[in-house]
Amino acid sequence: MRRAKVIASVIGLIGAAALSPTVTACRACASPVSSTLLGQTRALSDDPRLVRARLANGVTAIVCPRPSRGLAAVDVWVRAGSALEGPGELGAAHFVEHLLFRGTAKRGPGEVDRAIESLGGLLNAGTTRDFSHMFAVLPADKVADALVIIADALTGSLMALEHMEIERSVILDELARAQNDPNRDVIESAFRAAWGAAPYGRPVLSVASDIAALGRDSVLAFYRRCYQPDRMVVVVAGEVGPNAAMAAIKSAFEPIPRGGGPREAADDVPPLEPGPAFGPVRTLPRSGAPAEEVWAWRVGRRDNREALMAELLAAITEDALAAARSPQSAGDPQPGARAEAIPLVHGALFYIASSVGATGKAVSPALLEGVIKRLSSDGPTDNELEFARRRVLGRSLFRQETCAGMARELGMWAMLGDAEVPLELGARLKQISRNDLRVFAARWLDNGKGRAGSGEL
């Protein structure tokens, strides 16, 4: 995560947001994009709100025109997350994110930021286990200029040794401060419990010893292997004309040459098989926040329909745990719990976290297992499913209210293989039945594999 003029977000999860009663729909495109100009341009599912092109070098370009008070967001996603780091490269994904702002052959140190700021925008970046992305919000009439700057930053970085040493100290400081982030601690504990030493089990930011040992050759190898055009999705969302925005993406990104390096083995991970539940593991208290107990499951994801099933089940499980708790009393306060599903390229993480209360206890394993068994044998009730649909849809609509939020939603789901999800979410959730969720819960959450890995992280 970059800590400079702008604080960048390292997204280890798809954040939940409060329900919003309104959302601004994308405006219909004024005219179809020229097929002779962009070759494979088409409207996704014939939806006039979204237009996509596959450029000659493999870049996927997505434009979503929408009213946004004269603003637009540019968000470029790259299949370059921390889970793709090879031997000797631990920490490289996040390190590269920092170095992208340190200059190219065309722009010196600090000039990438200043160039975007001169257009009236702010530039930011983030890294997850699967992806890295660089994004900016700025006046819509400056999108073409911003695309040129971002394309240069992403593919023309010098990765200079002197800049590495400066950023190394910045990253080490960031790691030290991250130790006091209780939410990050819960997420990392869940990934570590579920995946162990496998790539998804490693922290996105890595650890201090890996950052201290990381050399330029390893960082450069990761950069050259992963920052290739056929691993990129470029999204523009906001008050733009689709033809002009598509032409601008093509002008900025199509000249990037396609590399011929080997694909990393992590791109060919076989499908997950059902495994045990992991936990509970107990985190340490951080910054005044109480310790938490975390349960985690590795969940398969054959397609994005199953990713939505996992998200619905998380909402249902959280509400069911709240309803199943005995009434609180002054002498025996009952701890609460939250559940979340995080989709990944290879599967998903499903976890439940419960704060340790004043009595030193979190939600009991027996209560949690009872809820999971009910959902696995009977499925959710009609009311539980309908309320979960509303919660999941409301969170997504809230994130889509700004052009930046819409660009992020489209980019993330495009990288997972299905950019239409944000625009079709309501209809897709309606297609998931109680029995679908029962079968999914029985396969992945209560599959007879038992429980493993309890302790302290």
User: Cβ(206)–Cβ(90) under 8 Å?
Assistant: yes
Q: Quote the CA–CA distance of 178 and 378 in Å, as a whole number.
A: 41
424 in Cβ contact with 44 (< 8 Å):
no
Specify the pTM: 0.85
Give φ, ψ of 200 to 5 degrees: -70, -20
Q: Is 366 exposed, middle or buried (0-12, 13-18, 19+ CB in 10 A)?
A: exposed
Contacts with 116 (C-beta within 8 Å, 6 or more apart), sequence order? 122, 123, 136, 138, 146, 149, 150
Structural domains for the chain: 35-267 (3.30.830.10), 277-456 (3.30.830.10)
Around Cβ 11, how many Cβ atoms within 10 Å?
19
Burial class (CB in 10 A: 0-12, 13-18, 19+), 261: exposed
pLDDT at 25: 31
| Structural tokens at position 294 | 């975390």
DSSP, res 59: -
Tokens in use for 14? 């798809």
Cα–Cα distance, 351 to 354 (Å, whole number):
10
List pLDDT tens digits, range 165-195: 999 999 999 999 888 888 899 999 999 999 9
What span, in angstroms and rounded, lies between the C-alpha atoms of 85 and 28? 41
Cβ 143 vs Cβ 248: under 8 Å: yes
Task: Give the count of beta carbons closer than 10 Å to the beta carbon of residue 374.
Answer: 17
**CA within 13 Å, CB half, 381:** 7
Q: Hey, which residues does 421 pair with through a beta bridge? A: none
Q: Considering only CA atoms, which of 296, 308, 259 is closest in space to residue 416?
A: 308
349 close to 298: Cβ distance less than 8 angstroms = yes
**Amino acid 297: pLDDT:** 93
Question: b or e along 78-102 (b: 16 or more beta carbons within 10 Å of the residue's beta carbon)?
Answer: bbbbbbbbeeebbbbbbbbbbbbbb
Could you tell me which of 24, 35, 34, 49 has the C-alpha nearest to residue 410?
49
List of the chain residues with pLDDT < 70:
1-48, 260-272, 287, 325-334, 358, 449-457
Per-residue pLDDT, 457: 44
Separation of CA 63 from chain center: 20
